[in-house]
């Protein structure tokens, strides 16, 4: 459950704090900071997304006799997979474009492209939250089933 919580927390922090701050600083600072942040986020977030897919699957396998818990754990894994796919096919391609921008002279449509990135970011944040909440529910259902037996 820890990895799904860390993933959701990291995305929530970014959504609520980092992204709004990007728009409050000069554009060159925004672009420089964003591209540096990509480097630091890369390994950490990939690990958290992968672990958030695998951990619920392992949990579901270990607790397959608890039907509700198993299905909810699988749902948690699916949400984490959605998070990974949105990141890989939505945010990452835009990040690759942003890396090519000169900080002092971004293209005229830079805000529109970043707003598209923001929409993908919202989707993956909600998916990460869904993964975390589903995993919490899975553990509660398992405990409930174990108590009844």
Q: Average pLDDT for residues 19-25, to the nearest whole number?
A: 95
Estimate to the nearest angstrom the gap between the alpha carbon of 82 and the chain centroid.
9
pLDDT at 24: 96
pTM for the predicted model, two decimal places: 0.90
Q: How many Cα atoms sit within 13 Å of 55 on the Cβ side? A: 23
Q: What percent of the chain has pLDDT above 90? A: 82
Q: Average pLDDT for residues 92-104, to the nearest whole number?
A: 96
Q: Is the pLDDT confidence value at 81 over 80?
A: yes
Written as six digits, the tokens of 144 are 């409930």
Spatial neighbors of 105 by CB under 8 A, at least 6 apart, are none
- Confidence label for 63 from pLDDT (cuts 50, 70 and 90): confident
Q: Average pLDDT for residues 24-43, to the nearest whole number?
A: 94
Query: pLDDT digit string (tens) for 111-121?
Result: 999 999 999 99
Q: Where are the domains of the chain?
A: 2-148
Stated as kind and residue range, the H or E segment containing 101 is none
> Per residue in 67-95, is it b (16+ CB within 10 Å) or e — as a string?
eebbebbbbbbbbbbbbbebbeebbeebb
């Amino acid at each position: 459950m820890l990895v799904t919580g860390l993933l959701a927390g990291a995305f929530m922090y970014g959504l609520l704090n980092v992204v709004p701050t990007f728009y409050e600083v000069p554009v060159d600072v925004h672009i420089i900071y964003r591209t540096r942040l990509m480097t630091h986020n890369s390994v950490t977030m990939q690990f958290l997304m992968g672990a958030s897919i695998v951990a619920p699957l392992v949990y579901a396998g270990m607790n397959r006799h608890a039907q509700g818990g198993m299905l909810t754990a699988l749902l948690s894994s699916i949400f984490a997979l959605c998070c990974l796919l949105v990141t890989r096919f939505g945010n990452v391609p835009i990040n690759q474009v942003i890396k090519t921008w000169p900080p002092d002279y971004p293209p005229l449509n830079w805000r529109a492209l970043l707003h598209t990135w923001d929409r993908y970011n919202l989707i993956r944040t909600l998916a990460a939250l869904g993964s975390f909440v589903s995993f919490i529910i899975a553990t509660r259902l398992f405990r409930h089933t174990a108590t009844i037996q």
